[in-house]
Amino acid sequence: MILLIACAPSAELITLEAPSFGHVPVEVLVDPDVEVQGVTVGGVAAYGLIRTEEGLTATLQGLGEAGLADVLIHTPEGEIFAGELDYLPASDPLFDRVAGVGASLTQGVQDGVPTFHANLMSPGAQISRQVGANYGIPLLVDPLFPTIEPVHIGPAPECESPPVVAHVTDAALEVLYVLNDDDGNFRYDLGRVDPDLPVYNAAVGGFQVGDLTRPLVDDFTRGFLGHMVLDPYADLNDDIPFSQVDVILERDPTLVVCFDTFGNDLIGAVVLGSEVDLGAITSEEEMEEDMRRLMDQLTEGSEAEIFLANSPRPGLLPAARNQVLRAEDPESEQAKVDEADAITVRYNALFAELAAEYPRVHVVDAYSYAEGLAETGLEANGETLDTRMYGGLLSLDGVHFTDSGYAAFGNLFLDAIEEELGVSAERIDLDAVAAEDIRTPSALRAEGFDVDACDR
């Protein structure tokens, strides 16, 4: 009698360790005949699965705790244990669990919209990558929202970029059709690489400081993107029944960052309408109430150190310059921009005064840093980058940062962390980031966009 013994499929983990930040490939040997449906590491799905001759590679998403994590290969027949991957601890306990709240700068928006690439190059993501910290990024599928490209820029010498709101509205309408399943049902979760990922960067573009601490009710515009980040299994018109702060407090953060704490309360009034509307700026009374509520909730709900940026003045933005250029009365429009700048100074002073009451709340002076960048720029990869339109620090919408701009602001926060807490970390390599940045002046010229013909 011949006895036939069937061998169960096996897998062998080749990548044995990774930073807790993740977003690096893991390699596994597995029989090419095995039908692989997915890979999880410590219960968190890897993405970007690629089959190779000898097995597969997939990209890790990081894990909330350092240590060993089971790597499982998921097949129609069940799970195959491939081994244990060692998630390395962050460079300092302060960075064990980094969390973000805020709006578009914290989320990572470039060229008008959030994208997969921009999510990974947000300032918090670049900091977390640098220090090996978990950050829990709710990555959007690629592609999703169409970005502003050089072809959308107006003729020289004005070289105006399209109004941000008009572009985002058109982009959202296109996405509505993408987020439908085969049965024609709208689903926010189709916009996420992994809708089940525990979110640590809870920031959502368009949110104001008061939105960070409250559920979002009867606000379809901000809720559209908010659901993809915070509540992806909701129905189209649902409210978001919890706040960004609620989400991150569940993660027991050790460090909280925000790069645009109340930026939309000011800047939105300048760049998001057809003209500057000073009446859309949040009142000082409401601003104080919202700022205090944010600091109260973050300090009462966690033991984290909290680093919050104040606001650069709206008049520095190329998008504000475009508003003046488009106005029927440019002089009057510029006067309104100047008034918004003056209000920003007052609100920054209020912000600093309130933060001084909270020992674990630290204000990062984005205002002064942005002024310095506007005056002198910075050197990166052999060229000077500045805050002018197409100057390399701001993306093509004239509002949000490029990879290089986000890296610069990431280093500003690392500087502040070292100054306030004595925790040192190697700074983000601006030369390396700028070398890969497609929105530096040299990269735009190489693409055929004549930066030098623009009156910036």
Peptide bond into 195 cis (omega under 30): no
What pLDDT is stored for residue 81 in this prediction? 97
Q: How confident is the model at residue 286 (pLDDT cuts 50, 70, 90)?
A: very high
Contact between 255 and 94 (Cβ < 8 Å): yes
Angstrom distance (rounded) from CA 283 to CA 293? 15
Which pLDDT score, from 0 to 100, does residue 9 have?
78
Q: Which helix (H) or strand (E) holds 26?
A: strand 25-30
Q: How many CB atoms lie within 10 A of CB 131?
A: 25
366-376 vs 330-355: helix axis angle to the nearest 10?
140
Secondary structure class of 287 (helix, strand, coil): helix
In CATH, what class is 93-453?
alpha beta
HSE-CB for 418 with a 13 A CA cutoff: 11
DSSP code at position 20: T
Mean per-residue pLDDT over the chain, rounded: 94
Angle separating helix axes 403-421 and 123-131, nearest 10 degrees: 60
Integer CA distances (angstroms), 410 to 221, 289, 415, in order = 29, 28, 9
Token digits for 89?
A: 């601890």
How far are the Cα atoms of 65, 128, 191 from residue 134, in angstroms, in the given order? 8, 7, 22
Q: What SS3 state is found at 258?
A: strand
Q: Which residue has the higher pLDDT, 284 or 173?
A: 284
Q: For residues 197 and 9, which has the higher predicted lDDT (pLDDT)? A: 197
107-129 confidence digits (pLDDT tens): 999 999 999 999 999 999 999 99
In the predicted structure, residue 1 carries a pLDDT above the cut 70: no
Q: Which of 150-159, 189-198, 312-321 has the lowest mean pLDDT?
A: 150-159
Single-letter code of the amino acid located at 154? G
Q: Helices 318-326 and 263-271, interaxial angle, to 10°?
A: 30
The pLDDT of residue 98 is 98
Asked if 71 contacts 84 with a C-beta cutoff of 8 angstroms, the reply is yes
Domain 11-88 sits in which CATH superfamily? Immunoglobulins (2.60.40.10)
**In percent, how much of the chain has pLDDT > 70?**
98
**What's the angle, vertex CA 147, arms to CA 427 and CA 238, rounded to 5?**
95
Residues of the chain with CATH 3.40.50.1110: 93-453
Mean pLDDT of the 382-390 span: 96
235 SS3 class: coil
pLDDT tens digits, one per residue of 313-346: 999 999 998 899 889 999 999 999 999 999 999 9
Q: Which two tokens stand for residue 391?
A: 């100057």
Name the phi and psi angles at 277, rounded to 5.
-125, 95
- Give the whole-angstrom CA distance, residue 156 versus residue 450: 9
For 47-73, what is each residue's pLDDT tens digit? 999 999 889 999 999 998 899 999 999
pLDDT level of residue 8 (50, 70, 90 thresholds)? low
Spatial distance between the Cα atoms of 456 and 441, rounded to a whole number of angstroms = 12
Which one, of 160, 152, 164, lies nearest residue 113 by Cα? Answer: 164
Whether pLDDT at 164 is above 80: no
Q: Do 260 and 102 contact (CB within 8 A), yes or no?
A: yes
Six-digit token string for 390: 């197409």
Which pLDDT belongs to residue 456?
Answer: 76
* Sign of the CA dihedral running 259, 264, 270, 271: positive
DSSP class of 121: T
- Inter-residue contact 317 to 254 (CB < 8 Å): no
Cβ neighbours, 10 Å, residue 53: 5
Question: Is-cis flag, bond preceding 138, omega within 30?
Answer: no
Give the H or E element holding residue 29: strand 25-30
pTM of the model: 0.95
pLDDT band at 4 (very low <50, low <70, confident <90, very high): very low
**DSSP output for 170-228:** HHHHHHHHHTB-TTS-B-GGGGBS-TTSPPSB---TT--GGGGSS-B-S-HHHHHHHHH
Specify the domain boundaries for CATH 2.60.40.10 within the chain: 11-88
